[in-house]
Structure 1
Amino acid sequence: MSFPPGGTYFDTTKRSFNQVPIDSTKDNGAISTTEFLEASEALTGLFDVLGSVAFQPVKNDMGGNIKKIRERQLAAPVESETLQDLVRNELKGKKHTATEGLVWLVRGLDFTSQALRQNLTNSSEELSKSFRDAYGNTLKQYHTFLIKPIFSAAMSATPYRADFYKKLGDDQPRVQKELDEWLVGLEKNVGILKTFLDSKEAKW
């Protein structure tokens, strides 16, 4: 991962979650599908910064769910301009591949945002603890006994805190400020989608 001197990792991402259009007049916040998927793809690059092959299954899982949502969007673009419309229209057709993909993607995003928020807030905490706590709060309850050890291995393989933040950029105050702004956008998207996906109209 390379960026100009004084730059940060966030300079290299195509889109961050605080750049995803949200129409607050609809659906408690109708989220634009295209930009949300771009921001989600950009987020998976963070697992490369974490640097361990143990995170590859986490990255692949998120990538697979992004693909399911994008395939539905390409198949029915007019019905899929927002994530909420995409879900409603897919479920009307008695299918739920993309909807299920979105449920799992949001769980993965929630896990990532909770881990990084906890770590940013607690400046002496190692990433392994932040990620392990976030896993317990989010994904763990949905995972089978076969999947849990794979994710546990990833939590144990996180780099030291200082090394991770250095990889995000030389200018640490700027890194922390931009990570915070990025997380605020991510948390907003996740919050809206969790509420929607928990509602009756998103069930199959």
Structure 2
Amino acid sequence: MKRGRGGMEESEMRSAIEELSLVVKDKPSGINPDAAYLPTKPFLYTCNLLIQVLDKIGPTMAVLRQDIHQNIQKLDKMYESDPSVYSNVVEILKKEAREGIARKPSSCSRALVWLTRSMDFTVNLLEKLEKDVAQSLEQVVEDAYITTLKPWHGWISSAAYKVALKLIPERKAFIKLLIAEEEDYDMLKEEMRELISLLLPLLDDIHSILRSFHLDKLKAK
């Protein structure tokens, strides 16, 4: 559990909803690369909160978690080098595009690509959990992986996820971990719907930005 802006303990999901609400409120319209805006710190904070949601699935998500964490660190390091310039992630993409390093494995541009795909995975997983109560958590995770991450992974990453699927807990145990104190399942489902409704348009914008920089088709090495 996290402490919200009002000082009360709340779930990671509720914290993510609050942070994303601020991002949406402050976001200017338009996806032109010259005008596009993705606030660096709120975006990375939200990614960190989603890591904590995935953590509740257990060791199965260790590979994805490590990948997300490393990519957050790359972008955060660039931001800290000049917060006034890099408060907008798009400025980082512009810098690396000018320098011709955007496609390199160590680039922040590639880090944003994989953070975006990890968020795609999380949204897909939450959508399936919220809509289909009959599916096992293993099936939900596998379907979400096949839809969002597998098309971009090489055989090594795909093999690692196949092994990890064997460690997924029961769906009921996972749901119980997601429910905050003084919440019930219906409240959790409402939070899922709210978070999804905020994440989907944000992800649409990010994917449009990535396409404008010709980064949307990058695959794992």
1:7 shift after superposition? 5.9
Q: Does 1:37 align with 2:44?
A: yes
1:69 shift after superposition? 1.0
Q: Deviations over 1:18-37 (max 9, x none)?
A: 33245233426622111000
Measured in 2, the distance between the counterparts of 1:198 and 1:155 equals 31
Cross-structure match for 1:24: 28
State the AA in 2 paired with 1:77.
P
Cross-structure match for 1:136: 146
Cross-structure match for 1:65: 71
Match of 1:46 among 50, 53, 58: 53
Cross-structure match for 1:191: 204
Measured in 2, the distance between the counterparts of 1:99 and 1:57 equals 20
Check 1:179–1:12 CA distance in 2 against 1; reply closer, same or farther (3 A cut): same
State the AA in 2 paired with 1:67.
Q
* Structure 2: gaps spanning 5 or more residues: 4-8
Cross-structure match for 1:176: 189
State the AA in 1 paired with 2:47.
S
Moved more, 134-143 or 96-105: 134-143
1:156 shift after superposition? 3.5
1:188 shift after superposition? 2.1
Q: Does 1:164 align with 2:174?
A: yes
Measured in 2, the distance between the counterparts of 1:16 and 1:151 equals 30
1:81 shift after superposition? 2.0
* Structure 1: gaps spanning 5 or more residues: none
1:148 shift after superposition? 1.0
Residues 13 and 191 of structure 2 are in contact (CA less than 8 Å); yes or no, is this contact kept in structure 1? yes
1:63 shift after superposition? 0.5
TM-score with structure 2 length normalisation?
A: 0.79
Specify the SS of the correspondent of 1:146: helix
Residues 73 and 80 of structure 1 are in contact (CA less than 8 Å); yes or no, is this contact kept in structure 2? yes
Check 1:61–1:7 CA distance in 2 against 1; reply closer, same or farther (3 A cut): closer
Specify the SS of the correspondent of 1:123: coil
Moved more, 147-156 or 33-42: 147-156
Specify the SS of the correspondent of 1:58: helix
Q: Does 1:151 align with 2:151?
A: no
1:201 shift after superposition? 5.9
1:99 shift after superposition? 0.5
CA RMSD of aligned residues (A): 2.7
Check 1:182–1:172 CA distance in 2 against 1; reply closer, same or farther (3 A cut): same
Measured in 1, the distance between the counterparts of 2:205 and 2:13 equals 23
Check 1:156–1:2 CA distance in 2 against 1; reply closer, same or farther (3 A cut): farther
Cross-structure match for 1:119: 129
